[in-house]
Structure 1
Amino acid sequence: MARERLSLKARALMWLAQREHSRTELRRKLLAAARKEQKEREAQRALAGEAPDAAGCADPERCVDQLLAWLEANRYLSEARFVESRINARAARYGNLRIRQELAQHGVTADAATQQQLRESELQRAQDVWRRKFGEPAGDPKERARQMRFLVQRGFSPEVVRRVVRDTDDIA
């Protein structure tokens, strides 16, 4: 028995039920699915010797954009919720630079209040990440550099990284 294909709307709702998506990310996924469906429909009709399909969506981009507009109008898709969920998922492990960069990849930005909260909590978050990974001050300059590189790669600002490593050196 052939598996019934989900409509674009059903796919979008399924993906949104799993987790929040940005408009850009969801558009990319839906366009890929719409184009694949269109090619398969055209191939099936060509094999059957039928005329091109007038049913379905002739222009996948237009159909996907209309669907995204409907999803936003009905509050299934919300960039504010996406930003909030992405920040909540990443804040405990990453610094502001990494979080901002990831949001930019999705074509969104955090509001000013959220950015301020992240700035205010960055030192504490960096200390928590350092403590989970290392737990004890560096014994030599090579180890100190390794700890600093780790925190920088996690997206913490150089100033915060210096403070975290310097403060842990003062403990020893």
Structure 2
Amino acid sequence: MQKPKPDPLDYAGLKHAAVDLLSRRDYSRRELWRKLSPKAASADDLEQVLDELAERKWQSDERFASMFVRSRASRGVGPVRLKQELREKGVDSETACSVFEESDENWQEKALEVARRKARSIGYDHPDFKLKLWRFMSYRGFSSDLISAAVDTLLRESSE
């Protein structure tokens, strides 16, 4: 037997659901829209709820983007991929750029750290060492300049 589908949420119900979601973690406006629109009785009500949450600073794309960049960068994800992921989550490019400018991440250091970790698992003596490392680093979202600098540093260190 199937569960009955719940009634669509009105303004108060949508606001309660949105605050409930935001109490667990930050969401971009688009993410909240995607999560709540199937439950909404009216798209206008949902827009009003999202506007009110933004006015009260309970929902902020800037704060979401900042937390997202910090979290994903700590796991070794590079700036190119992060910008792509932010776009997918509905953060406009202007906001994303300002978050990257304000970020205190040292991408050169981060790239070298990720490259060192991967280099140990590949093995410096592997015939395709450089190719494998380039492919991995570009998948992780590092630019060719950052990859090149990290690979050069690693090769210099390994030859010493």
Normalized against structure 2, the TM-score is what? 0.79
Identity across matched positions, percent: 30
**Mapping for residues 26-105 of structure 1, pairs under 5 Å:** 26-34=32-40, 57=41, 60-92=42-74, 93-105=76-88
**Mapping for residues 151-166 of structure 1, pairs under 5 Å:** 151-166=137-152
Deviation at 1:87, TM superposition (A): 0.9
The equivalent residue for 1:147 is: 133
Deviation at 1:9, TM superposition (A): 1.5
**Mapping for residues 101-112 of structure 1, pairs under 5 Å:** 101-108=84-91, 109=93, 110=95, 112=97
Number of positions where the alignment pairs a residue of Structure 1 with one of Structure 2:
146
Distance in 2 separating the partners of 1:126 and 1:140: 20
Structure ID, larger Rg? 1
Q: Which runs of 5+ in 2 are unaligned?
A: 1-5
Out of 112, 119, 124, the residue aligned to residue 127 of structure 1 is 112
Give 2:112's aligned amino acid: Q
Distance in 1 separating the partners of 2:47 and 2:65: 21
Normalized against structure 1, the TM-score is what? 0.74
RMSD: 2.5
Report if the CA contact (8 A) 2:26-2:64 is conserved. Answer: yes
Instruction: Name the CA shift for 1:117/1:101 in 2 (closer, same or farther; >3 Å).
Output: same
The equivalent residue for 2:29 is: 23
SS in 2 for 1:135: helix
Q: Which runs of 5+ in 1 are unaligned?
A: 35-56
Instruction: Name the CA shift for 1:120/1:14 in 2 (closer, same or farther; >3 Å).
Output: closer
